[in-house]
Amino acid sequence: MAGKGQSKQPAGQREITYYNGSSPDLDETVRWHRRQVEQMKKRSRSIWEQPWGYREGFIVAAGIVFSGLLLQLTVANIQSALFASPLSGIFGVLFVTGLLVVHFLLPRNSTVRWLSGVYAAVPAIAILLLLCIILGLIPQFPHNTGNEQLPSTRFTPLGWYRMTTSWPFVLLCFYILIILGLTILKRTGQKQSFRDIGFYLNHLGLFLALLGGLLGSADLERLTMHVSEGEIEWRAKNNSGDIKELTLAIQLDTFLIEEYPPRLVLVENETERILPAVRPESYQFEAVGKTARFAGVTVEIVDYLPHAALFRDSTFLNVVPMMMEGATTAIKVRVNETAGNQPVEGWVSNGSYLFPHSTLQVSENTSIAMPPQEIKRYRSYITLYTEKGTARQAIIEVNRPLQVEDWMIYQYSYDDEKGKYSDTSVFELVRDPWLKVVYTGIYMLMAGALFLFIAGPKKGPQEKKFFSARKKQTKLLIEKSKFTDSQSNSI
């Protein structure tokens, strides 16, 4: 009922009055109803009806992968050599030019605007992440590996053993590049601010790294070069066995190998399996006179020869120290706990390319053996000559490559048969002209992440309103405090 002295108004008029400002709760209710209506409209929208959303995004990305699978089953993996320089550079220029043309000629096209938004980006990234998971779970082979050398499984026709050159992976990566490029170009047409620096660094860096990686795979060269001590070599072989002459030459001055101390293990005589089978145990040599227990036996170190020669006949083994190439490592051990309760003593050696290995039998089924010594490090002392007439000395070892012009020279291997006496070093020479583009993109990504960390998250409208109110409140409290102090001083 209306109160005393109040005129009765229609209900509709009262609601309009409330909505105009007298009732905030009703205002919020009206906004909620509007959101519900908009959501109902979105749910009732038929597929492919503009504006597109996540459904269309997943359909388009899945369609690209499906098209790639059809190409994969038809023509197999992409042959990167067919797109080598200068075709890779021409394709890169045409790709970027095409993005610019689409952006400037079709700026208001609904499909182009959709491609530069999250509705296209998120589904594409999700499916690419799925392909990357498959890439990490399935062993990968070089792109030039023949189909006959790949495992005969159901994954081989799909290209999963060479994922980076498969049609689904490459097409999806270029689709993401289109999304990235249009997103960057769209942002350039908006009002710029200081915080846009982080956006451009991250998106443009990812664009360069991905584009350089895709195009650079066609121009990537991997060669191997075998060089013996005292010799100069300027020829290298590719994976196909073709010889290529280079504009640089390598002279191997010295090749050195360092090994870890020898180890002793207990093995089965028939299978030569290290015991215990579940968790093999071993003893690493420390010094003569030490006693060690492993795999249930106690072993005493009696003597040690780091350079020894082994002479054996049908019943006797003679071990003598000998400083020569091909000498082996030998340890004399004594085992007191044996099946016959009699101590067993003898020499154990891991052998070399000149001398056979030697074991000490401690029971009917087991023997003490010495596995090949593990390599600690190996390095090459070289003199490098270039076509320009320059010469420089350098040291190349694992994880410490040498860069010369466009080539990266890695320590790859050595003569496995000779082991620590190898006088041949194997180098891997890698040339990737697109590597600078990839590194530029990676550095931009790092700079963008650092910029966002320093700048902090962007404040939304509600946060700005909250901090503005807090600032006003603080200002009023300061003024009130000053007024109170002035009143107390006047009294």
Please confirm whether the linkage preceding 276 is cis (ω < 30° from 0).
yes
- The residue to which tokens 């249930």 are assigned: 296
Rg (CA), the chain: 37
- pLDDT tens, 23-68? 555 566 667 667 766 766 556 667 888 889 999 999 999 999 999 9
The answer, yes or no, to whether residue 476 has pLDDT greater than 80, is no
Choices 1.10.10.10, 2.40.50.140, 2.130.10.10, 2.60.98.10: CATH for 221-258+376-431:
2.60.98.10
Mean pLDDT of all residues belonging to the chain = 86
Residue 25 or residue 93, greater confidence: 93
**449/88 Cα distance (integer angstroms):** 30
- pLDDT for 125: 95
CA distances from 221 to 43, 162, 200, 237, 427 (A): 53, 17, 32, 10, 14
The mean pLDDT value for 78-90 works out to 86
Domain boundaries, the chain: 54-192+208-219, 221-258+376-431, 261-373
The answer, yes or no, to whether residue 462 has pLDDT greater than 70, is no
Residue 386 or residue 470, greater confidence: 386
Helix (H, G, I), strand (E, B) or coil at 257: strand
The top-scoring range by mean pLDDT among 12-16, 342-346, 408-412 is: 408-412
Residue 19 or residue 381, greater confidence: 381
The answer, yes or no, to whether residue 193 has pLDDT greater than 70, is yes
- pLDDT for 56: 93
Please confirm whether the linkage preceding 280 is cis (ω < 30° from 0).
no
Extract the tokens encoding 220. 């990537």
The top-scoring range by mean pLDDT among 13-22, 234-243, 313-322 is: 234-243
- pLDDT for 15: 43
- pLDDT tens, 98-145? 999 999 999 889 999 999 999 999 999 999 999 999 999 999 888 777
The answer, yes or no, to whether residue 17 has pLDDT greater than 60, is no
pLDDT category at 14 given cuts 50, 70, 90 is: very low
